[in-house]
Amino acid sequence: MEAIIVIILILADQWTKGLAERLIGPGGVVTVIPGFFELTCLANKGAAWSLFSSESWGLALLSFLSSAVLFALLWFLRKAEDLRAKIVLVLLIAGSAGNLIDRLRAGAVTDFLTFIFGTYHFPTFNLADSLITIGAGLLILFTILDREFLNYPFGVKPVKEEEAV
């Protein structure tokens, strides 16, 4: 079931990026809510907030790291038994795969969602970035609420206190 959800999320990410590329076009801007939300089609050759985009080795490094992280997350998902861990891993896998597909297909990730807060323009992002952010946020939340949570995605059973003594 997790594989189907991952595929659906990747398809949704690729579909929305494709719509942005076709309907808005590179560098195009569509104002949705004036002064708050715009659709802006940008090609991001770097990592989050265009980190490493000016480095010639940046794309190769990011593609390699993304692939390594993706394979590790897939391995952890196979071991995961806890529903919360599966949710976190599905979100991280789908987001990572969505952006990796862009890097391999076009040499850049298509970003198109821009929020504006007064004079501050939040960095433009996409659905895959949202999935990664939500997955990471849930990972942090679940870890704060349950100190044993990090054991679950790694297939490690929590040790009961009476067994540890």
- Which residues are part of the catalytic machinery? 111, 129
Residue with the two structure tokens 């821009």: 114
Closest among 35, 36, 37, 55 to 45, alpha carbons compared: 55
Residue type, 48: A
Closest among 161, 136, 124, 134 to 20, alpha carbons compared: 124
DSSP one-letter code for 164: H
d(CA 67, CA 75): 12
Residue type, 78: R
DSSP one-letter code for 125: B
d(CA 29, CA 32): 9
